[in-house]
Each structure stands twice: as C-alpha cells, then as structure tokens.
Amino acid sequence: MRINKYIASCGVASRRKAEELILNKKVKVNGKIVEELSLQIDENNDVVEVDGVKISTSENTVYILLNKPEGYITTVKDQFDRPSVIDILSSVSERVYPVGRLDYETSGLLLLTNDGDLTYKLTHPKHEIDKTYVARVKGKLTEEEISNFRQGLYIEDYKTAPAKLRVIKYDNVQDVSMLEIKIHEGKNRQVRKMCKAINHPVLRLKRVALGKINLNDLKIGEYRHLTNEELNYLKNI
C-alpha cells in the first residue's frame, strides 16, 4: 500500500495532508525517515510513525465532537510541549486525529476521528463546508469594511473566497464588536488575518458550527460522539 494511503487509512490525515507530513520529514517507516512519496509499505509488517507516534489501522471507527478550550494545540506533538486536544479525550481508547485545525488561541468546535476517508472529504476545498465563528474584535466596523470582507480580501499571497459576516452587537463603552463569520476555506489563521486586514484585530475567537453540526450546549472542554444523524449528514455532503 502506498504510504500516503496507509496514513489516511489510519485516520491520521487525508492523503494530501499525509504527503505534506512526508515532505516535512514527519514520517518514519521502520525507524527511517520517508524520503519518497511513492513508497510502498507492508501494512502487516512495517512499523510506521508520524511525529514519533506509531500508527496502525483501527477496526473501530469513532467520531468525536470536542468543544476545544483555548491553550490547546490540534497536533499530536508539539516542540514546546504545549497541551494537545488529544490529552482531553481520556475515555477514548482509539487513536483519533483532528479534522483540520483550530489555532492554539481559538476555542470551539473540533471534530476528531480515525476515519481517513471522511477526514479527506471534510478538508477538501471542493466541498465548501461553512465554518461558523463568533469573533470579538476591536472597534466598530464600517459598511465599506463589511462589504470588503464579504467580497474577499487579499491576504499575503492569496485572495480569500467570498465570506459571510454579520455584526451581532457593538459595545460603545469597550469599543469592541461581536461578529458572526462564515468561511468555507481553511487557510492558516484565516479569520484572524481577515479581521486584521480590515483593521479590526481579533480579541477572542470561537468556532461554533461546521455546516449543520453545532456545539449547542456542549461545555468548553467537553466532548461527545457524533449522533447517527450528524454522521450521515457529514458523509452525504
């Protein structure tokens, strides 16, 4: 089996993300760093590690919804030894991996699973699944800024896709605004960069929904398994 397909089958990442892990020298087979994307492995005999963690295929597929607290990374290992969201899942015996990422400073909805095919589907740009955030930002937005945000903004070397923005309220005393923001892309720190681009830096950020999947009354730091209805919805997007 090709190495990127094996990594996906273990639920670690999509095949595309698996290739990125290989190029970043995060993958070892039998103790040696993988140099070739086309490497074929024997899933029954070869020992595969990602970020120093041994991986294997799992018979039981699990689907977890976590209300991520601030101050947790969404990778398995971290060079600064910061806590990982994996540390929160004390009662989950299967090895699961985040579907996409949330910034260290960002809280809210995060899916975790060992279903590589679903991970690939949910992270592939063609599906354009809305990710809904509530952002607390500095200042009061003008109509022009709101319009520019909705049309897409130039950030670094790319222009973001059209996004949705709604002002929930403005606090005149503190000079801060609460915003509901919906994007379907998953660029690194995209919401923060978009708000900064219109001169309203993010003070707090929380993801509250992925498509029709919502946190509802799930408390910060708590997690639960997806319902059959939620899982069917994600698989049929």
Q: What is the pLDDT of residues 23-82, one digit of tens each?
A: 999 999 999 999 999 999 888 889 999 888 888 776 688 999 999 999 999 977 777 788
Instruction: Tell me the mean pLDDT in the region 185-193.
Output: 91
pLDDT value, residue 127: 79
Clarify whether residues 77 and 146 are in a common domain: no
Q: What is the pTM of this model?
A: 0.78
Clarify whether residues 41 and 86 are in a common domain: no
Clarify whether residues 43 and 20 are in a common domain: yes
Clarify whether residues 111 and 217 are in a common domain: yes
Task: Decide if 103 is catalytic.
Answer: yes
pLDDT value, residue 172: 96
Clarify whether residues 111 and 44 are in a common domain: no
pLDDT tens for 125-184 read 787 899 999 999 999 999 999 999 999 999 988 899 999 999 999 999 999 999 999 999
- β-sheet bridge partners, residue 73: 84
pLDDT value, residue 58: 60
Q: Give me the CATH number covering residue 8.
A: 3.10.290.10
Q: Give me the CATH number covering residue 72.
A: 3.30.70.580
Clarify whether residues 113 and 218 are in a common domain: yes
Clarify whether residues 134 and 203 are in a common domain: yes
pLDDT value, residue 222: 97
- In angstroms, the Cα distances linking 200 to 18, 120, 183, 212 are 35, 33, 17, 28
Clarify whether residues 152 and 82 are in a common domain: no
Clarify whether residues 170 and 139 are in a common domain: yes
Clarify whether residues 205 and 154 are in a common domain: yes
pLDDT tens for 213-236 read 999 999 999 999 999 999 999 988
Clarify whether residues 41 and 152 are in a common domain: no
Number of domains in the chain: 3
Is residue 121 pLDDT above 70, yes or no? yes
Q: Give me the CATH number covering residue 162.
A: 3.30.70.1560
**Cα dihedral 185, 189, 191, 197 in deg (nearest 10):** -110
Question: Could you tell me if 216 and 206 are in contact, meaning their C-beta atoms sit under 8 angstroms apart?
Answer: no
- Rounded distance between C-alpha atoms, residue 102 and residue 213, angstroms: 16
Clarify whether residues 139 and 199 are in a common domain: yes
Q: Which domain covers residue 41, as residue numbers?
A: 3-55
pLDDT value, residue 206: 98
pLDDT value, residue 230: 95
Which one of 103, 115, 171, 175 is the catalytic residue? 103
